[in-house]
Structures are given as C-alpha cells and as structure tokens.
Structure 1
Amino acid sequence: MKKVTMLDVANHAGVSKSTVSQYLNKRYDYMAVETKSKIEEAIDELQYQPNIIARSLKVKSTKTIGVIVANILHEFSTQIIRAIEDVCHELGFHIIVCNADENPVKEEKYINMLYAKQVDGIIIFPTGENIDLYKQLQSSKFPIVFMDRLVPEINIASILLDNENASAVAVEEFITNGYSRIGIVTTSAFKNVTPRLERISGYKKAMQKYDLSMVSDYIRSVESDSIQLELKKMLSLPEPPQAILAGNDLALIEILKFVKKAKLSIPGDISVIGIDDVSFADLYNPPLTTIKQPTFEMGKMAAELLLNKIDGADNVLPKNIYRFRPKLIRRSSC
C-alpha cells in the first residue's frame, strides 16, 4: 500500500499542505470550523499517520520522555509511572519506561539509549553511581529530574517522601497501641539508597525521642531473599520484638510470607505496619495498617518539573528538593 502523505490529506480536504501542517501542529485557533472538519475527515478516511520522526527533527522535539526506574517490582514505581503517563498523555507526550534493576551498568546503558533516541528529557530513580554521566547531562542542559532518591554530589531537582517522618509516624502508632519492643526490616541499603537509609534514621530518632531501647538485632537491612531468615533469628531472641515496621513493599511481602510459614497471627503474635500502601492492604486478613505515599502527586510533580525544564521554564522554580508528607492508613494489623 502506498503511504499516505500530508499532501494527499491536503488534496482530499481541498486545502493547502501548509494548512494541514498547521492543523497537525495544533495551530488552528483562527482556523475555520469547516476547514478543521474537512481535515479531520480526510485524516480519518485516508487513515493518515503523521511521520513522528520527521516532525521531531523539524520542531527539535520527539514529544517523548524516558522514565528509568530502579526496580519495577516496587508497587510505588508502577504507581509513579502511571501518574507520569497521565500528565504526559494529557499534554501530548509519550513515555519510554526502562527498568535498571538497581544496576548502575544497566542504568548507564538506558540513559545513553534514551539520549540517542533524542527523548526530550528523563525522569530517573537514580542508582547514584553514575555521577559523571548525570553531570554530563546537566552540563549539556539536558532536562532531568530525580525521583525517590538524592545524589548529594549533584544538584538536580529531586522528589521524595519525607522518609524520616514516615518511620516516626509508624513508631508513634506502635507506641499508641502499647508496643515498646519495635523493630524495622527493609531491603538492603548497602548502595546508599536514600529512602531505606532515611527510614532507618527516622526509626532511630523516633525510638530515641520516646526513650525506647534500640536493640541492634531489631534493625535489619538485607536483600529480599534473606529477610525471612533474619526474621526467624529476630523472633527467636529471648526478648523478640512485639512489632515490626516494614521499610517498603518488598520487605512487607517477605514479612507476610514468613508470618504465614511460621503460622503466626497478626497482630496477636506480631504487629506490623508497612511503608507503602500496597494494593492488597485492605484485602489481607487482617487488613494492614500502612504509611501511604502520595504517589499520584509525586509523579505529577515529576512530570510537570521535567516538562517545565523542556519548555525552558524551570528558572522560576523556588527549590530543588521536594518532600511529600506521608499519611497513616489505620487498619487492623497494629
């Protein structure tokens, strides 16, 4: 089949090629309603598809952004992606999603691939280990926004939860319900992942604030596949914790697996609060108390910040680090 061109659309609609071009680029504020209708009908009847690559070269924009997540298995990541996509779709942008698997080598490859594809900007959940590459992007004025993590060595707009406050809210909820022996379990923080470090720090500060003993054996930050073993050790202590804070959704899942395997009850044998309001929280028996991140608002801001940078309008932004407050969703696991 012969490829339908813009000229074909113009001839079919009985207008000039430049008028069709104006319509496709949404410059039709002063275009007659009848003319717009004719072009719309011609596009529909001929099944015309604009040449996106050619248009992007002409306007120096692909109307596409990249999103590189650290680990797509986190429900938080998928919720953020959805929010970003909503904003971009509304404004005529497409997104390409890449999963770095917490691997700086994969992250570097994806950054280079997206840059080569001439995306207009990138939102990254950074591993924090490609500092020279981040700096290169920044020095070339390539639009970039960090999500969920800080990289202290570089000043790039970053969007995060108030992680210390999230842990403090959970500890206070445990205390309110009569628990004093409180532990925290999160996935490994050995790569200096901002949320994990800050949530442990917030837990420690809250325990000190309420003059509760901090037992080192109650604090675990390990790979997901080691969490159940660490829980077994923790609950075998002469004085095991009465309550456990799950530092993220993956840690929460491993805790729930362990509870089922060990035939424990929540909150009878162990009280649990999870940071991240997982989709199954109110379906679990008992329903799980969680600390909710405002994922839609965070993803929306990330998209808007990036699009501002793409439009060259980020010079009016008041700051570079944006913190969102967590919200306690009180259910029955505490």
Structure 2
Amino acid sequence: MIRHLKEKGYTRPILFTQFWEQNSTRMRRRDSFIQAVEEIYGYTPKPQEDIFLIDHSEGINTVSQLKLMRESLRTGDIPAVIGTNSITTARVYHGISELGLSMPGEIGLCGPEDWDWSNELNWPFMIRPHVTTLKVPSTEIGYRAAERLLQKMHQTDTLPQEISLPCILNARESTELR
C-alpha cells in the first residue's frame, strides 16, 4: 500500500489508528507502517506528524486529528491517510467529507480489510470515491487457524508460530491522484 501511494505521487503517508497497546493487530499494522515508510520513503514516521490516534470514547475525534495532521504538513506535501481497520478508515472518510477536502485531489485515503464478503455489500463500493483497500484472505486465515488449533490439540508441545499471508491491493478512486 505504501509503495502504491508513492507511485501515485503522494508525498506524505499518514497512519490513523486507535490505541494499539492492548491490540496486537493494530500494533503490528503500526509497526509495518513505520517499517514501510522507512524503506520506501526514507524517513522514520513520528507521532503527531505521521501517526494519529482517534478514540471517540476518549474525546479524540477524527476531525480534530485531521486538522492536526493538516497543520503538520510541509509546503508541497500531498497526504494519503491509511486507516488501520475499516472502522478507522470509514471515520477518516467522514472526517474528510466534513472538512470539505477533495479526495483524491487534496488527500488520499486507503485502508485494510476489504473482506469481499459480497460485492453488493462491500463497504468500499458503498461510498464515493471508492476507497483503496487491501483484500484480507479471510478464508485462508480461517483454514490456517483451524490447522494450527488441531495441531496444538494433538501436539501440546507445539510452539507458537506466526504466519503471514499476502494481501491483494485493490487500488480505487480514493488514491488515484495521477
């Protein structure tokens, strides 16, 4: 996703996330964001410049964070926000709309979790512009989890194992800057 944003001309990838301390998926996505920006853009992302927290229960709303993000931009920066999950991405979408920003002209938006449950109910198609997402291989995740569980049941000394599965980028209008 980061490589896609750079190829499209975005100069500033931004991560919007919720608190990650008690959520390994959010933590992993934040760490992956930092690593990818370092590798592809050549700098280390910083909190309150490149990584923004939202938590409506704590009063940290999306619009205020988008405003802070815009204040942190340098002249010539073209930001693209990555939401850590579909909820965060949808909140950012609504915040962008509320602020009247043009997408993809002034800001790009993308996020993970294009679960592809049904083409008719797939949330990235329900809004305009359609949102760029990563398709998560949910069926394969289920198969792998079941295999590991069965293996653990029969071999209790089996060590934990992390399995990474490839995702598919679905580039759509929200990041089509060029």
TM class by shorter-chain length? Answer: 0.7 to 0.9
**Displacement of 1:316:** 10
**Displacement of 1:295:** 0.9
Tell me, which stretches of 5 or more residues in structure 2 are unaligned?
Answer: 116-121
Contact 1:187–1:250 (CA<8 Å) still a contact in 2? no
| 1:219 maps to 2:55 | no
| 1:272 maps to 2:113 | no
Identity %: 22
Compute the RMSD of aligned alpha carbons. Answer: 2.5
1:330, 1:292 → 2: CA distance?
10
Q: How many equivalent pairs are there?
A: 162
Q: Which residue number corresponds to residue 293 of structure 1? A: 136
Q: Which residue number corresponds to residue 19 of structure 2? A: 188
Which SS does the other structure have where 2:163 is aligned? strand
Q: Which residue number corresponds to residue 306 of structure 1? A: 149
Deviating runs (4+, > 3 A) in structure 1?
211-215, 307-310, 314-319
Which SS does the other structure have where 2:144 is aligned? helix
Question: Among 51, 67, 83, which residue is 1:232 paired with?
Answer: 67
Which SS does the other structure have where 2:5 is aligned? helix
1:234, 1:189 → 2: CA distance?
19
- Once the two structures are superposed, residues 183-215 of structure 1 have per-residue CA deviations (whole angstroms, 9 ceiling, x without a partner) of 111111132x22222222222222222344445
2:37, 2:152 → 1: CA distance?
41
Which SS does the other structure have where 1:272 is aligned? strand
1:215, 1:319 → 2: CA distance?
30
TM-score by length of 1: 0.44
Kindly tell me: are residues 316 and 327 of structure 1, through their superposed partners in 2, closer, same or farther at Cα, counting changes over 3 Å?
A: farther
**Displacement of 1:221:** 3.2
TM-score by length of 2: 0.78
2:10, 2:172 → 1: CA distance?
16
1:190, 1:319 → 2: CA distance?
21
- Once the two structures are superposed, residues 269-328 of structure 1 have per-residue CA deviations (whole angstroms, 9 ceiling, x without a partner) of 211110111621123211111012111111232234334545x3x479797322212221
1:187, 1:175 → 2: CA distance?
24
Which SS does the other structure have where 2:26 is aligned? helix
